[in-house]
Chain A
Amino acid sequence: AQSVTQPDIHITVSEGASLELRCNYSYGATPYLFWYVQSPGQGLQLLLKYFSGDTLVQGIKGFEAEFKRSQSSFNLRKPSVHWSDAAEYFCAVGAVMVGARRGNKLVFGAGTILRVKS
């Protein structure tokens, strides 16, 4: 079964410092991978996605992520964190559901809460 692990529940970084959020996935085929951000009381906003091709993908707000098949990882990075980046971050893998009503779903990790110290 598909699964996503985000090992860090909370991370605190100083404003201006670099950031790396870890994500490991389990999926039998080539994965579709996503990072979403959720600000308090808000919905989920897509930061970036990986479908195929270049394993380093750029997203919005200065974020990037690197797909490493050998490590089953898709870590999110930002070179310099801003106070407005404080939020909860979710990694997700796209999976196909097989059955009478074939469809697709996103399997989410438990999330990492980012706190930014000024």
Chain B
Amino acid sequence: NAGVTQTPKFRVLKTGQSMTLLCAQDMNHEYMYWYRQDPGMGLRLIHYSVGEGTTAKGEVPDGYNVSRLKKQNFLLGLESAAPSQTSVYFCASSYYDQPHEQYFGPGTRLTVT
């Protein structure tokens, strides 16, 4: 039981490049989330999903897109990376009946130059 996994662990992008971060969970959780972590700001919710095929915006969605084609996977895309998107990105998942008890992945450290 791997829990929540994220790939890649590290990535460096140039401004304007695109990339996709993959989150996978093997706990059969309905809900999945993408957060970004910046120094002194804690974690902020980017997008979330309450089930396969559904996505919604969180607090800081601009510049990101997401997709949830399979229940176990939640993808975060950056179409045109900007230096302001340099951050550590965390994926999390939870059961629908305990949505606040979220399990986190190890994170992806992204640097945009």
Contacts and interface: CB of A to CB of B under 8 A. Distances in A.
Interface in B86-107: 90, 92, 94, 99-107
A104 B99 CA distance: 6
B99 A103 contact: yes
Nearest to A94: B100
Contacts of A90: 42-43
A83 interface: no
A103 to B, nearest CB: 5
A99 interface: yes
Interface residues of B, number: 29
B43 A43 contact: no
B106 A101 contact: no
Interface in A79-112: 90, 92, 94, 97, 99-106, 108-111
Contact of B43 (A32, A46, A108): A108
B57 to A, nearest CB: 8
Interface in B31-46: 31, 33, 40-45
A110 B43 CA distance: 8
B111 interface: no
Nearest to A91: B42
B54 A101 contact: yes
Nearest to B6: A43
Interface of B: 4, 31, 33, 40-45, 48-50, 54-56, 58-59, 90, 92, 94, 99-107
Report the 6 A-B pairs with minimum CB-CB distance, sorted nearest first: A94-B100, A101-B56, A108-B42, A104-B99, A44-B104, A43-B106
Interface of A: 4, 9, 32, 34, 36, 42-46, 49, 90, 92, 94, 97, 99-106, 108-111
Given A94-B100, A97-B58, A104-B99, 15 more contacts: A4-B42, A32-B100, A43-B107, A46-B101, A94-B99, A97-B56, A99-B56, A101-B54, A101-B56, A103-B31, A103-B49, A103-B56, A105-B58, A106-B92, A108-B42
